Structure formats: C-alpha cells, structure tokens
C-alpha cells in the first residue's frame, strides 16, 4: 500500500511539474510569422495589456485543467487503498437492507468526499476567473451553483450506480452489454430534458426581448429550413463577461440560446453570424451525430472497463478490502477506469468536434455572406474570454472542442 501510494504521488508530482514547464517555459503561443499583421494577429485587435492578461490567464487556466483530471484519479486510488470505499459500503449495509438505499448512502459519502477534496482546485478556477474579470459571479452565487451541481450529479449517479451494480450482480459476464443498452435511452432522456428541467436550475431563460432581432434570426432560420419559433436568451451577465451561444436538447425540446452578454456586446451582424453558426449544427444534425458517437465510445469504454476492472480487483482487491469485483466498494475503481479512458479518448473526440465547428463556420458564411462580421466576432470572443489565439499543441489536443481562433480567422480569410 505504501509503495502504491508513494508512486501515485510521485507520478502526479512529475506530471504537474511537466505541465508547469510545458505551459510556462517551453511553449510559445505567438502566431506564425506569415500571419503577423493579419486579422488573425491578436496584436491587431488587442491592446498590449489585453495580450499580457490573455497569456497569463490562459496559462493558469490550462494548468489548473491539467492538474484537475489526474487529481481525480489520485483521489479514487487513495479511497481504495485506505479502505474508505469498503467503509462506506459497510455504513450503507449497516443502515438499511434495501439495495437502492444502500446505493444512495454509499454514493452520497463518496460524492461528498470527492467534492470536499476537489474544492480547492474548483475554487482556484473560480478565483482566477474573478481576478481576471472573466467571472462576475459572487462567491455565494458560485457556491449555489456548486451545490446544485452536487445534488444534480448525485441524483443521476445514484440511478446509474444502482442499475449498473444490479446488472453486474445478475449478469457477471455480459453486464457491460446490458449497461450499454440501458445507457442509450438514458442518454437520450437526459439530452431531451436538459433544456427544460436542468439548465433553468442555474439561470433564467426567456424568449429574446429584442423582437426585431428575433424576426431577423427567425428569417435566417426559415432560409435554412429550420422550423424555429423562438430564440431564447439567458442572463449570464450575472456570472460572466464571456460571450456565447449554443444549441441544446433534441426533438421538441431543442433550443437556440443566446447569452445576454452576447446581445449587449456584439453588433447585429455579428449576432446573426453566431446564430447562423448555431443553426448549422441543427441543419447538419451535429447533436444527433454527437449522441451517436457518445454511444459508440460508451460501448468501447464499458468493454474495456469490464476486462480491466476484474483484473485490477483480482490483483488489488484484498489490499483495498474488496471481496468481489461487483460489490459497491469497487465503484472508485470503475470511475477511475472510466475517467482514464475518457481522458485518453478526448483528443479524438475534440478533433471530431473541431471538424463539426469548422463545417458550421463555413455554413454560416454561406448563409450570411458576411465574412467581416464573422472575423470581428472571433476577435470579440478572444477579447471577452482572454483566450489565446494560438494555444500550445497539447492544450488544443486535450481542451479545444472548437478550432483555435487563428484557424478560424485564417480559414475565413482564405474564402
């Protein structure tokens, strides 16, 4: 146990040290020489102070991201090594004989522990966003969102874990196939209800107040053969200075949403370009392709987890005080493997997402015929979020679900 604990902490420290040097010493985020002086050059649309702040904020934000992912793995490993998972299961079984309630009790203690231990990194991210004036959210408001996150994730996790371990115990060899089949309707259900029941827990949504702008957006939607009746805005200015718009939900619950910060700071032509971009996701059925890809990735993830989890528990189960691979105490091992696989798959998933976003940009230009508005939109997005135009390669690989601002503007300039 000591050996595993030592090597876990040592490898995490080496990993953190590598990314500290990589992000702050070894990489250069300046744009290639051939793009100097173009509309993609941040020096042409940001002040020297904004350039400096963007580099500082992006570096810290990226470092916190790379710290947080394996930090979660370290937590799960130590929960297993020190027998905390087995203890949580004992508490649950001593409290009630009903399996669902045992699951609820176990998941509560595990979720609470993870929430408490990860709080410093979460707060650091909030504090940095606040310090660089990206976030406008008060601490009490941020804590409210953290609590909502906890309880929403807890409720979803209890259902998932209860079904998952019921399948593990009933179908020891084929549980992962049945779990995958169950995940399909569950994923569709969550995607369907998110705009109506989950998102409003965090913010207020209402039809776009500017009816003239809404009429132009709906005319654009009609031009793209989209049966839209309303565009929604959300009061994000209470929480952030960043700009955004997105498409969410499926079927009758799908929505096009504009942040009020976007409405306040962008011109009408820039807003219409953003709306055309979001409409492209609807026209090209990117939401459905995304769900389909998620279902495929889930199948592969559960297949590999089934193989590795049994081997890991077989080898280290006694050390972690776990008797069977399919008892509740093995959940941190399951979550550890899922998190590792998700992180490993993220470069490929991000690459696919960047391809879709690039296609949406192209569609938006064809629909609006306004390249200048598109370029100025990306420049404004850079300014509002203090993001890097040309981020380091590993940051793009693991973090960027959208093309970099450099790639997006250069692509527009070449049209």
Buried (b) or exposed (e) across 141-152, using 16+ Cβ within 10 A?
ebeeeeeeeeee
Question: Looking at the domain assignment, is residue 365 inside a domain?
Answer: yes
How far is it, in rounded angstroms, from Cα 36 to Cα 38?
A: 6
Q: Which of 73, 62, 121 is nearest to 393 (CA)?
A: 62
Q: Is 275 exposed, middle or buried (0-12, 13-18, 19+ CB in 10 A)?
A: buried
Q: Can you read off the two tokens belonging to residue 404?
A: 């970099």
Question: Looking at the domain assignment, is residue 171 inside a domain?
Answer: yes
Query: Would residue 278 show up in a list of annotated catalytic residues for this protein?
Result: yes
Query: Would residue 28 show up in a list of annotated catalytic residues for this protein?
Result: no
pLDDT for residue 266: 94
pLDDT for residue 297: 95
pLDDT for residue 130: 96
- 10-residue mean pLDDT profile of the chain (415 residues): values are 92 97 93 93 95 95 96 96 95 95 97 97 96 95 96 96 96 95 91 84 89 87 74 91 82 78 94 91 88 94 95 91 93 96 96 95 92 95 94 96 96 83
How far is it, in rounded angstroms, from Cα 161 to Cα 143?
A: 26
pLDDT for residue 245: 86
Q: How far is CA 32 from CA 48, 385, 413, in A?
A: 18, 22, 15
State how beta strands 232-234 and 255-259 pair. Answer: parallel
pLDDT for residue 253: 67
Tell me how many degrees the CA angle 390-291-150 measures, rounded to the nearest 5: 80
Tell me how many degrees the CA angle 398-402-408 measures, rounded to the nearest 5: 130
**The one catalytic residue among 72, 233, 361, 407:** 361
What's the pTM? 0.92
How far is it, in rounded angstroms, from Cα 89 to Cα 105?
A: 8
Binding-site annotation, residues for Zn(2+): 277, 281, 357
**The one catalytic residue among 41, 72, 233, 278:** 278
pLDDT for residue 199: 87
- The structural domain count of the chain equals 1
Question: Looking at the domain assignment, is residue 236 inside a domain?
Answer: no
pLDDT for residue 118: 96
Question: Looking at the domain assignment, is residue 252 inside a domain?
Answer: no
Domain range for 97: 1-7+48-202+286-414
pLDDT for residue 252: 64
């Amino acid at each position: 146990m000591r050996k595993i604990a030592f090597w876990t902490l040592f490898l995490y420290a080496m990993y953190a040290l590598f990314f500290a040097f990589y992000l702050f010493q070894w990489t250069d985020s300046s744009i290639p020489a051939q793009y100097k002086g173009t509309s993609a050059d941040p020096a042409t649309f940001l002040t020297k102070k904004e350039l400096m702040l963007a580099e500082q904020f992006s570096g810290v934000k990226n470092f916190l991201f790379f710290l947080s992912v394996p930090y979660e793995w370290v937590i799960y490993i130590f929960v297993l090594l020190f027998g905390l998972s087995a203890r949580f299961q004992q508490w649950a079984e001593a409290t009630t004989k009903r399996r669902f309630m045992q699951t609820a009790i176990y998941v509560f203690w595990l979720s609470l522990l993870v929430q408490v231990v990860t709080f410093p990194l979460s707060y650091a991210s909030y504090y940095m966003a606040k310090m660089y004036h990206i976030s406008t959210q008060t601490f009490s408001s941020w804590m409210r969102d953290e609590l909502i996150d906890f309880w929403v994730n807890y409720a979803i996790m209890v259902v998932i874990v209860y079904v998952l371990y019921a399948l593990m115990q009933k179908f020891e060899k084929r549980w992962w196939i049945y779990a995958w089949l169950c995940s399909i309707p569950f994923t569709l259900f969550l995607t369907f209800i998110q705009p109506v029941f989950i998102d409003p827990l965090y913010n207020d949504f209402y039809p776009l107040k500017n009816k003239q702008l809404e009429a132009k957006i709906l005319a654009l939607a009609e031009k793209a053969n989209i049966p839209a009746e309303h565009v929604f805005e959300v009061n994000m200015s209470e929480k952030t200075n960043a700009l955004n718009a997105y498409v969410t939900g499926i079927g009758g619950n799908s929505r096009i949403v504009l942040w009020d910060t976007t409405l306040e700071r962008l011109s009408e032509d820039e807003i219409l370009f953003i709306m055309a971009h979001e409409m492209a996701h609807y026209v090209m059925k990117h939401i459905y392709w995304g769900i389909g890809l998620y279902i495929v990735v889930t199948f592969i993830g559960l297949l590999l987890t089934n193989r590795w989890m049994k081997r890991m528990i077989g080898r280290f189960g006694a050390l972690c005080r776990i008797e069977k691979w399919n008892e509740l105490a093995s959940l941190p091992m399951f979550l550890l493997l899922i998190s590792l696989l998700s992180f490993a798959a993220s470069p490929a998933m991000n690459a696919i997402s960047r391809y879709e976003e690039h296609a949406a940009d192209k569609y938006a230009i064809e629909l609006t015929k306004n390249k200048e508005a598109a370029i100025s939109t990306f420049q404004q997005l850079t300014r509002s979020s203090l993001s890097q135009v040309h981020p380091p390669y590993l940051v793009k690989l693991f973090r960027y679900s959208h093309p970099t601002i450099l790639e997006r503007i250069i692509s527009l300039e070449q049209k």
